[in-house]
Amino acid sequence: MSWQPTPARVSEVLRPFPAQAMAATLNRGESFAPGDPLPPLWHWFHALPVYPLDQAGPDGHQALGHFLPPLPLPRRMWAGGQFTFHRPLRIGAEVTRTSVVTSVVEKAGRSGPIAFVTVAHRWRDADGPLITEAQDIVYRRADAPPGAVERAPAGETLSREMTADPVLLFRYSALTFNGHRIHYDRAFCATEGYDGLVVHGPLLATLLLDLLRVDGGALPQSFRFRAKAPITDGTPFTLCGRIDGAEAHLWVRRADGVLAMEGWAGL
């Protein structure tokens, strides 16, 4: 494989529109002006990598071999992430995101070959670090069967019931320049074994920290999460949380009781 992990760097002056659009998508009356901080994980609407349409692969993502390695496994999903929030990103500031692939691990799993790719992102402004982030991506073969599921825990003290519809998924894809067809192409979803449009993993993670911020009145200094099972459009789910001292346990429970995502936030 001749591919080499070349760093990618994108800079942007943070405009208020993406945050305004996300707040409206959540039916929230929040407004954002110069100097205002972005809520946790809303930095994903900024400094986005942009690639020509003729570089898009069959799944709508940028084809492998440009930034991500050209592994012979066509199905890829965001499996989880880790974050340290040094300082908030603020509207009007100029920020730079530097990204590089730091790890590529190929394994023989129970359902066939599988690979894990880690991408490190460093967010900075003129005063120094803002966010240190590691993104974990899993690659599987096209006909890989669904993984085992586990039951979601109980005992939440924070909760919010939701159902994602196609308009919500479309808006989030647009805000994050995400062309992955599993979020808007129902026929393509069926070819990958899903019974509907797939709710974005990053959207679920963002909603968990929104629960913590709005309902729990707390902001994270760190956060880590793992995607456990998919949720599709029209399927109810519950955002759950419990604050225990300096840590918050956060999770997403599907209507059938399955654990869809689990995370921990340091406060």
pTM recorded for the entire structure: 0.96
Q: What is the spatial distance between Cα 90 and Cα 131, in angstroms, rounded to a whole number?
A: 12
Q: What is the pLDDT of residue 3?
A: 75
Q: Map out the domains of the chain with their CATH numbers.
A: 8-266 (3.10.129.10)
Q: What is the pLDDT of residue 165?
A: 98
pLDDT in tens, the chain (267 residues): 567 778 999 999 999 999 999 999 999 999 999 999 999 999 999 999 899 999 999 999 998 888 889 888 888 899 999 999 999 999 999 999 999 999 999 998 777 899 999 999 999 999 999 999 999 999 998 888 877 899 999 999 999 999 999 999 999 999 999 999 999 999 999 999 899 999 999 999 999 999 999 999 999 999 999 999 999 999 999 999 999 999 999 999 999 999 999 999 999
Q: What percent of the chain has pLDDT over 70?
A: 99
Asked if 199 contacts 231 with a C-beta cutoff of 8 angstroms, the reply is: yes
Q: What is the spatial distance between Cα 53 and Cα 39, in angstroms, rounded to a whole number?
A: 30
Q: What is the pLDDT of residue 6?
A: 84
Chain centroid offset of residue 250 CA: 15
Q: What is the pLDDT of residue 2?
A: 63
Q: What is the spatial distance between Cα 75 and Cα 102, in angstroms, rounded to a whole number?
A: 20
Chain centroid offset of residue 160 CA: 19
Helix or strand (DSSP H, E) at 11: strand 8-13
Q: Which residues of 56-74 are buried (b: 16+ CB within 10 A; e: fewer)?
A: ebebbbbebebbbbebebb
